[in-house]
Chain A
Amino acid sequence: MNNAPKPNLEDLPTKAQLFRSSVIAGIGAVAILVTIYLPAEHAIDPTGVGRVLGLTKMGEIKLELAAEAEADRLLDEQLGQDQSSSVLDAVFGLFVGTAHAQEAQEVWRDEVTFTLEPGASAEVKMTMEAGNVVDYAWTTTGGRVNFDLHAHGGGESIDYERGRGETAGEGNIEAPFAGNHGWFWRNRDSTAITITIQLRGDYSEIVQSN
């Protein structure tokens, strides 16, 4: 029935060899669990090896993202019940002082500047109606930034653009639904970053939270 002969016992590893292999495999498994798996998945690093290998950092980022995903989900549920996406933003929201850009060849309506320490994050969003268009240009100094240009609320969501390790960006977005549209910024670099965003177009206010 099988496409192979019965194995000869002399071709097989002896029980003593198998036992030794099993012990080695068991020790190896525990070593991998403690120095590799726990740091990389749960940021638990009793030996400090995971930190040296860069795996504890991975675990920390995963834990942080998992917590944010959960918070996002709860927020979504809440907003789904409220049917008003601006309530929470209004709580955190603060008006950003407008500094008119110099009237060079490009006239910007607002300029937003803020600084992120390593590991810190912030949101800058424009309150827009469906069909509104906003032009933007931004640059960083001091390091490279990760961002997610998006909007969500009331069961709708859109991801315009994501980036990591970037130092500048420009373009425009057209809002497919009413709400706050803009960036989630995070500094994964090792130094503080200052981000400057210039904006113009159809929006009623700028909401900043961190």
Chain B
Amino acid sequence: MTSTSRVLRALAPRQIATLTLLLLAACMLTVSQALAHNVTAGDAGYIQEIWGVKIIPFIYLGAKHMVTGYDHILFLLGVVFFLYKMKDVGIYVSLFAIGHSVTMLLGVWYGWGINAYIIDAIIGLSVVYKALDNLGYYQKWFGFQPNTKAATLIFGLFHGTGLATKILEYDIPQDGLLANLLAFNVGVEVGQLLALAVILIVMGYWRRHPDFMRQATIANLVMMGLGIWLTGYQIADYIAST
């Protein structure tokens, strides 16, 4: 009895809050955008009404895209989950930033139109991959540890391709494209740092908890579940769209 209640109490405030946040973020998936046929509303609508260089609005849009991009945030959370030193956080987050910047900029500039569902399914798999990595399954299954830095960079490339696909849908005007695109990229990194700050504060409190390691196992299993769900959802949408 006492051990059960201790577990519940341990689980209670922080982890439940974290899980609730994750689930809430996941639920945003189901809010589909039903747009009227002539008027495009929201961010895309704004972009389709303007032209020329608009640095700060595009920084804002980039940051918003990252902060509200639950798939990117989940992967970021997975990457820094067990990084206790700020130096490591800096290295891995930079690798992820380099990866997604490269494909985002090149993807938009050369108009690589990749199916949004497929790329989002891959991004969902990146979350599953990182959760399994955090749980130590690769060493258990294959007897070796795949390079985590390389994985962060490579999945960063996929995340950037996803970003590029979304930006192409925004239909940024040719007039001012390069400057606006770079501003959007700066915004994505600003948004990533804002999200990272919140993640590190929450993790900072959580890691001090005596039951952190056990709760971490549960959290990574949940993260894996969300990754599978994201992937399945995107595949289902892909099948429905064909």
Contacts and interface: CB of A to CB of B under 8 A. Distances in A.
Q: Do A and B bind each other?
A: yes
Interface of A: 1-4, 6-9, 11-13, 15, 17-18, 21-22, 25, 32, 36, 40, 53-55, 57-58, 61-62, 65-66, 68-69, 72-73, 76, 144, 146, 148, 150, 152, 157, 159, 162, 164-165, 184, 186, 188
28 contacts: A2-B136, A3-B82, A3-B135, A3-B145, A12-B207, A13-B204, A21-B200, A25-B197, A36-B60, A40-B57, A53-B56, A53-B57, A54-B54, A61-B50, A62-B45, A65-B39, A65-B40, A65-B41, A68-B41, A69-B39, A69-B40, A73-B36, A76-B37, A150-B37, A152-B37, A164-B173, A165-B52, A188-B50
A160 to B, nearest CB: 11
Contacts of A3: 82, 133-136, 139, 145
Interface string B31-64: 0000111111111011011111010110010001
B39 A68 contact: yes
A2 B216 contact: yes
B46 A164 contact: no
A165 B54 CA distance: 14
A7 B42 contact: no
B220 A164 contact: no
Given A61-B45, A164-B49, A165-B52, A2 B135 contact: yes
Contact of A76 (B36, B54, B216): B36
A2 B220 contact: yes
Contact of A146 (B49, B52, B54): B49
A58 B50 CA distance: 9
Contacts of A66: 41-42
Contacts of A32: 194
Given A55-B56, A55-B60, A1 B197 contact: no
Contacts of B194: 32
Given A68-B41, A72-B38, A157-B37, 11 more contacts: A12-B84, A18-B201, A22-B201, A53-B56, A61-B49, A65-B40, A69-B39, A72-B36, A157-B38, A164-B173, A165-B175
B229 interface: no
A25 B57 CA distance: 22
A57 B212 CA distance: 46
Contacts of A162: 48
B217 A1 contact: yes
B37 A18 contact: no
Contact of A159 (B37, B54, B205): B37
A80 B64 CA distance: 37
B216 A72 contact: no
Contacts of B84: 7-8, 11-12
B208 A21 contact: no
B198 interface: yes
A25 B46 contact: no
B38 A148 contact: yes
Contacts of B46: 58, 61-62, 65
Nearest to B210: A6
A111 to B, nearest CB: 25
Contacts of B198: 25
B88 to A, nearest CB: 10
A52 to B, nearest CB: 9
Contact of A65 (B42, B145, B204): B42
Contacts of A146: 49
Nearest to A189: B51
B213 interface: yes
A73 B49 CA distance: 20
A36 to B, nearest CB: 6
B85 interface: yes
Given A2-B216, A4-B82, A25 B41 contact: no
Contacts of A186: 49
Contacts of B205: 18
Contacts of A22: 201
A32 B175 CA distance: 29
B212 A7 contact: yes
Contacts of B60: 36, 40, 53, 55, 58
